[in-house]
Structure formats: C-alpha cells, structure tokens
A and B are shown apart, each in its own frame.
Chain A
Amino acid sequence: MNTHSTDQSSYPRADVDPPSGKLFPHKHLLGIWGLDPTAIKHLLDVADGYVDINRQAVKSAPTCAGLTQINLFFENSTRTLMSFEIAGKRLGLDTISMATGNSSIKKGETMLDTAATLNAMRPDVLVMRHGDSGAVKLLAEKMDCAVINAGDGRSEHPTQALLDALTIRRRKGSIHGQTIVISGDVAHSRVARSNIYLLNAMGARVRVVAPPTLLPADIDRLGVEVFHHMEDGLKGADVVMMLRLQNERMNGAFLPSTREYFHFWGLTREKLKSAKEDVLVMHPGPMNRGVEIASDVADDLDRSAIEEQVEMGVAVRMACIDILTRHLRPEDNA
C-alpha cells in the first residue's frame, strides 16, 4: 500500500503530478495562502463527514491503517498536538509525537538534519509546529511525505483557520457574505493571518479590531477593514473571533495592562450589543478570561462556539491527513 520509492524522479511531485487529486492538488498543507476556494471547500466537505463519525460511539475510521504519522512540535502545545494525535489514531495511522524537550535539537542538531533523520524513518505524514515563520516550509522541502503545518511563527496555522471555517459554515450555513471580526493581537497571530486568507477566499467581509500597537503595518492590504474601537468594529458583525493576548505584550510596551486592555478591547456583553443579535463568538484557545473575553460571553451557550471549535478541529485534521495520503491508497482515491 505504501508506495514510497527511493527513486526521487518517480515520486509524484506537487508541481508535476498533484498527488491528492484534482480537488486538492497539493502535496503539503503549509498554509491557506495559495489555496483556491475549491480546495478549501473540498477540505471542509470531507471534514463535515468526519464530524458525524466523531459523534458515533465507535469513532474509528481506519482508512489509513498502516501509515505512519509523526507529530514534531518545536513549540509547546497541548490542544493542537492532542487533536492531531486523535485525528491520526481515528484514521488508523501509527502516530508518534515528539516535543523538542527530548529531541536531538536540544543536542545541537540543525532542523534540516532532524528532517533528514525523520525522512529516513519513512513517515507518511509529518505534522510540524515551529516558533519561526517559514520553518515548516523549509523542512517540507526536505521531506518525501506530506507535511502539515501545525503553526509556524507568525506566519500560518492553516488547520485552525479550517476548523474555524467549518464551525462558521455549520452554524451560519455559509461563509460567503458574513461579516467576520478578528480582534486582538493580530500582529503576532498566525491564526489571524490564516483566517484572513481563508475567509477572504470564501467571500466573507473581514474586519480586524485592535489597538494600533497590535496591528502589523499595511494589514489593510491583506483585504481587511481596520478598526481601533471595539464598538465600531463589532457593528453588525455575524461572527467575532477573539485572539489570545500573550502576557509578554505588556513587557514589550505594546499595551499598558490587562486591566486597560479589557476595559477597551475585552469582549463583554455590553460591547457585543453593537453586533448582530445572533452573533457567533469564537476563540482559538486557550482563553484569558477577563483579559480578551468576559466569562459570561465565553460561556454563553447560544452564542459561544468555543467548544465546538475544538470538536471541529479533530474532524478537520482527519480530513487533512486523509486527503494528503489518498495517493498512497489508490483504491480510496475516487
């Protein structure tokens, strides 16, 4: 079943022979940037199917049995790592997770040497997170297998954007035409960037709301409307996605204090009044209650989709692994 070949020239390359079918003509999932709406829709459609499987008592769908998945995390993570592990296991892959704490990286090995070592172990899927923007792409160039970006620096976090999109699509019926607000530390957020690309590609109206110190230069050129006042930005919004505020931002002089941040930019019931009545509240987690979001908003069962996002995360990651390994399973590649 595993069609790995030592002959590089015969290996299907993304640019020559799209390995994952016409609907998703990419070897890796490194980011949302560069994906067309058809590819995104295909990923979401497949993920939708996995949501149903995940809600059954028996959640195993071992279409990928016998394949190997390595989760390589150079940056701390709990929920994303677990989500990828569960996704792999439900698909029947043998999944191995490695955090930098116990890797050779700590012994001075360069990332590319690590890549070569891992490549020699012949995994079929490599999931990677790294603190530097572009690191996953660099590693992907040295890997024969499919690479999924689980977050690199401030660059991209594609599976987060996909799970957010799936959540919105299931709640709102469509992404097209929705007014979606992304609020918080946009400057340092890979989640914000991936979401901006995806939501724009799918025809949403995207706004960002943050103090000027937390917005990167020329962010409006990425196709978003920029607001500094929360009430203005929330006006008529269908969806509001809050971003996590890192405590380091106080020391970096980006903000005075969490107190002042909550006062002006924290999502409260009062500020939410300017959004639409049925506004959907989202957060990629982990939340800072009383900093970027008030507890009663986070816990509002009618509006908050925060737990649902986590559920969608597993389904989306199953879809990504499934689609990127279909060329290894010709009988499934309909």
Chain B
Amino acid sequence: MKTSYTNARIIDPATNHDAIGTLVVSGNLIEGYGADIDTSDVSETIDCGGKILCPGFIDMRAHAVDAASALAGGITTIILQPDQTTTIDTDAVVERIRHRSVDSQIVSVYPMGTATQGMKGRQIAEIGQMQQSGAVGFTDCNHAVADAQVMRRLLEYANHFEALIVQYAENAELGVDAIAHEGEIATRLGLASVPSAAEAMQIDRDARLAELTGARLHFALISSKDGVEAIRAAKARGIRVTCSTAPHYLHLNDNAIEGYRTFAKVRPPLRSEEDRLALIEAVADGTIDTLVSDHSPKSADVKRLPFAQAASGIVGFETMLALSLAPVHAGKISLMTMLRALTTNPAQLLGLPTGTLAAGSFADFVVFDPNKPWRIDADALISSAKNTPFDTLPVQGQVWRTIADGVSVYEKA
C-alpha cells in the first residue's frame, strides 16, 4: 500500500534539499520524493497544504519514553537515558528495552547504557556487551566521570568499540550541591551555585583525554558561553568532540528561577542572558551539534518543595519544536541548521538508520506548520507530568502529522 504526501515543503537536512514536492511512502519505507515523482499507483493522498515535511526528530536525551507525548512533538526516535528505575547497565536490560521498542512499532527507543558501573565513576561498565545488545551510547547522565584516570581508560576502552561516550560537562567538585548559576540571582536568592567555569574546565580536560585516546566524546547539555568556547577550541584542534544543548537553554536565562520557581530548576542550571545568546550563536554556527529535550517528567509532589529539595528537570517533548523555532523566526538560526540539529546530526552521531528522507529509508517523518501560533498550556500536555516552565507562553510552529514506520501515529486535531 502506497501513500503520498503532496504539496509539502520537503526538507531533508541530509542532502540540504528544500523544495515543494511530493513524498511517497510504500509500506514502512520512503519510496522517494520530488516535484514530479510518479504517484500513479498511490492508494491514499494527503495534501500537506504547503507545510514542512522533514525527518522525524531524534531526541538524544530523554529520561522517560512517554511515547504519546513524543509523537505529539514530532519525535520518532528516543534515546533513553540509563537513569531508569532499573538502571541500564547490563546487556540484559538493554535487550529488554530494545525488544519492547520493536514490539511497540510506534516510537523507536534506543537505550544508552551507563558509562561506569552504577554511575559511580569508578569501574567501567560492560560497554562491549551492551553495545552488542543495542545500546547506542554510554553516559552517567547527570554525573560527570570525575576521575581523570577512569575517564581516560573509559575513552580508550570505548574507542575500541567505536562507542560514543556522553559526558556531563560539569566539574564535580565545583558543582557539588549546586542548584543555580553562580551570579547575582543565586546570590540574592541564597542558592548554592556553580560557575560557568566548571563547565569549561570539564570540557577542556576531557577534550585532552579524547585527543590522547583518539576516542569520540559528546558533551551533554552545554549551558554557558565558556562551555561553547571550550568546545569551539577543541573542535578547532581537530578533536572528535560534539555536544548538545536543550531548547530551554536557548529560551530562558536565570531570571526564570526568580521567586524560587522550581519548574525552571534544571541541571545544568539556566545561566545568564549572555550565555543564552552565546548558545544560540553556537547552534547557528554548528558548534553545538544537536538539540535534545532532556525530557524528564516530574510530578508536582517533587516539584512543589523548597528549591533545594525540589527535583530537577522539565518535560520537553511537546514543546521542543516550537521552542527550537523561536530563534529561527527571530532570524538567528537558519531553518536547515535547526532541523539538522534535530534529525541528521543525532542520527549520524549515534549511527541510526533514520534522520533522512532518502529513498529506501524508514518512513519516520513529521509534517509541521512552522508559523502556526499557539499558546503552551501545561494542562493540555499529553505527557505523563506537566512540569514545564513554559505554561501560557505564546509560541509559533506546531506539529500537524507524525509518521512512524509508515504509519500516521499522531494527527493534530
């Protein structure tokens, strides 16, 4: 059975294609796309009304599967972080998650395993066997591997398997107990804080180790101008480092925690306006490779607490597209660059068979209206929790259809 998506602005960042045309899906594969593609034996035609059609988003950092919420956000591939109820630190757990994902046939879930055993930073995790079972990367989540010797051996060992290590970019000693960015606001609120230097220090050290070992290294959630500059310097040296940030760092600064608003409590913390602007620039020039949601559903019970005790994290699936498009609408980042950071770049980093519209690839794609205005409504979110600092925020850009494995799995009412 064939379906065609006509009258679509087809954008494939893998080939820099951006033109109005038709995309034909045959079964669960993309048959092809173009302005004059053969649609003679198509049984269903969907008029996209000039909306953008691009590869389904790949979220490199999610702490929960929350499938319905992901699909509503145009996300067809989720990289599940190892900090689950059962820590993902053995091949058996990896296998179970992969099987469950294949069985569900809706959203693709690829787990990351821990980098060290129990995320304690002392013993290397069983990277080889987890990779054989389907783990696509290895990280200790919000714990930086602090010991330089352990980090060096971890990179050496991972390099043998060409495995991607994802490091949390924060010097552990400087970041101890920190819940806010070091600056005027943290001082006035009386919150323990961490300076941007902590991020840059970790990047500097680990980039050296990546250079020494020849290994690939990805830094999660860059949040500061210092961090961006450290990444830029490492890339200029030819070191195999990449990094990501999340839309909330492009959208908010530490003003958001005024009044001890715990819904804006994230790790690393929201930083200054100068940092926010530097991050936008870094996405625009490719210093930051990927955008992630860091989707982390937390019930109100663990958020409505004194700031220090409240859980960190926000739900990010359903707001990812609209928030990412804000700097595009402002003319700061090109649409192609932004979509590349959401699709092709993470696919290539993780070696996934998605993130492209090339003929023969899996029919995982999203159709969205880049200009549709709407207001974020926390209560209307599908996600399993409503912890977002963006409630009532007017935004532009909305998902219209999400197609996973050839099947239309989300349609905007």
Contact = CB atoms under 8 A, between A and B. Distances in A.
Nearest to B157: A213
Interface stretch (A59-67, A170-178, A259-267): A259-267
A115 interface: no
Interface string B271-304: 0000000000000000000000000000000000
A326 interface: no
A53 interface: no
Among all A-B residue pairs, the 6 with the closest Cβ atoms: A253-B150, A212-B156, A256-B126, A260-B126, A256-B124, A213-B153
B126 A253 contact: no
Interface string B305-344: 0000000000000000000000000000000000000000
A259 B123 contact: no
A56 interface: no
A260 B129 contact: yes
B88 to A, nearest CB: 14
A265 to B, nearest CB: 10
B157 A211 contact: yes
A253 B127 contact: no
Interface centre among A250, A253, A260 (most CB of B within 10 A): A253
A263 B149 CA distance: 24
Given A211-B157, A251-B122, A264-B128, 11 more contacts: A212-B160, A213-B157, A228-B160, A250-B123, A251-B123, A253-B150, A254-B153, A256-B157, A260-B127, A260-B129, A263-B128
B127 A256 contact: yes
A2 interface: no
A255 interface: yes
30 contacts: A211-B156, A211-B160, A212-B157, A212-B160, A212-B213, A213-B156, A213-B157, A228-B160, A251-B123, A253-B116, A253-B122, A253-B147, A253-B150, A253-B153, A253-B154, A254-B153, A255-B124, A255-B157, A256-B117, A256-B123, A256-B124, A256-B125, A256-B126, A256-B128, A257-B126, A259-B129, A260-B126, A260-B127, A260-B128, A260-B129
A255 to B, nearest CB: 7
Contacts of A213: 153, 156-157
A211 B163 CA distance: 14
A257 B125 CA distance: 8
B159 interface: yes
A198 B241 CA distance: 42
Query: In the complex, which of the residues A250, A256, A260 has the most CB atoms of chain B within 10 Å of its own CB atom?
Result: A256
Contacts of B116: 253
A253 B115 CA distance: 11
Contacts of A252: 153
B129 A263 contact: yes
Contacts, number: 48
Interface string B217-245: 00000000000000000000000000000
Contacts of B126: 256-257, 259-260
Interface size class of A (residues with CB under 8 A): 10 to 19
A221 to B, nearest CB: 17
B156 A253 contact: no
A256 B154 CA distance: 9
Contacts of A260: 126-129
A264 B129 CA distance: 9
Contacts of B129: 259-260, 263
B149 A253 contact: yes
Interface in A121-142: none
A255 B116 CA distance: 10
Nearest to A265: B128
B354 to A, nearest CB: 28
Contacts of A256: 117, 123-128, 157
A264 B161 CA distance: 11
Interface string B368-387: 00000000000000000000
Identify the interface centre among B117, B128, B150: most chain A CB within 10 Å of its CB: B128
B280 to A, nearest CB: 38
A246 to B, nearest CB: 15
A74 B286 CA distance: 58
Interface string A235-263: 00000000000000011111111011001
B23 to A, nearest CB: 41
A151 B154 CA distance: 30
A253 B160 contact: no
Interface in B143-159: 147, 149-150, 153-154, 156-157, 159
A250 to B, nearest CB: 6
Nearest to A259: B126
Interface string A258-301: 01100110000000000000000000000000000000000000
Contacts of B123: 250-251, 253, 256
Interface string A209-220: 001110000000
Interface string A175-196: 0000000000000000000000
B89 to A, nearest CB: 10
Given A253-B150, A256-B117, A260-B129, A212 B124 contact: no
Contact of B124 (A253, A259, A264): A253
Contacts of A255: 124, 157
Interface in A31-53: none
Give the residue among B116, B117, B126, B154 with the most A Cβ atoms within 10 A: B126
A218 to B, nearest CB: 13
Nearest to A251: B123
A261 to B, nearest CB: 9
Contacts of B159: 212
Interface in A6-55: none
A266 B254 CA distance: 53
Interface string B348-366: 0000000000000000000
Contacts of B147: 253
A228 B162 CA distance: 12
Contacts of B156: 211-213
A327 to B, nearest CB: 48
Nearest to B127: A256
A263 B133 CA distance: 13
Nearest to A215: B156
A263 B153 CA distance: 19
A250 B126 CA distance: 11
Nearest to A255: B124
Contacts of A253: 116, 122-124, 147, 149-150, 153-154
Contacts of B125: 256
A259 to B, nearest CB: 7
A281 to B, nearest CB: 23
